[in-house]
Amino acid sequence: MKRILTVLVISLFMFSCSEEEKKLELKDSNVLAFPLESGWELNATASVNGFEQIQENDTTYKAKISYYINLVTPAGDTLPEIDYGIINEEDDEEILIANVEVQVELDSTFSTGTYKMLFYINDDLSGRTATAEKSFDITPD
């Protein structure tokens, strides 16, 4: 009986001390469309959290996140990878949030209507992925 109780207490201690895996998330995505002389400019942002970090030399935290953005037109056509990039974050404290910032121009061949911006995020250190979508309208001046 003592042995079972000891194993139970040790197991409970080990499970309570294990670190819960963070969920990779995109939050606060926002897209704004501004008219230009011959088209529109799109500015989009999203916050990423829950990504893996490595600590080097007990003083530097590093994170690496890659992303790409697809655009879905009002007709349902998908324009792949209208923007893409890598976010390399480095700080002397744990990094809580990384920001994805997108700026693209659409020419005058794009019609007005409701579009969707699709965010695809990859945490390069853990291999985990996350997605988000944000609808927005392009309206005539």
Structure confidence at residue 8 (pLDDT): 55
Q: How many CB atoms lie within 10 A of CB 64?
A: 19
- Number of other CB atoms surrounding residue 135 within 10 Å: 10
- Check: pTM over 0.85? Answer yes or no: no
Banded model confidence at residue 101, pLDDT cuts 50, 70, 90: very high
For residue 2, is it within any domain?
A: no
Give burial (CB, 10 Å; 0-12/13-18/19+) of 25. middle
105 belongs to a structural domain? yes
Where residue 7 falls among pLDDT bands split at 50, 70, 90? Answer: low
Model confidence at 43, pLDDT cuts 50, 70, 90, reads very high
> 84 lies in a domain?
yes
Task: Name residue, tokens 């992303």.
Answer: 67
Nearest Cα neighbor of 120 from 65, 41, 42, 51 is: 65
Looking at the domain assignment, is residue 93 inside a domain? yes
Tell me whether residue 66 is in a domain: yes
In 3D space, the residue among 46, 44, 62 whose CA is nearest the CA of residue 54 turns out to be: 62
In a domain? residue 71: yes
Q: Which residues pair with 39 in a beta bridge?
A: 36, 107
Question: For residue 140, what pLDDT band results from cuts at 50, 70 and 90?
Answer: confident
Residue 13 domain flag: no
Let me know if residue 9 belongs to a domain. Answer: no
Report the domain count for the chain. 1
Provide the domain limits for residue 43.
21-138
For residue 80, the domain's CATH number is 2.60.40.3880
Q: Strand, coil or helix: what is 10?
A: helix
The encoded tokens of residue 101 equal 């910032």
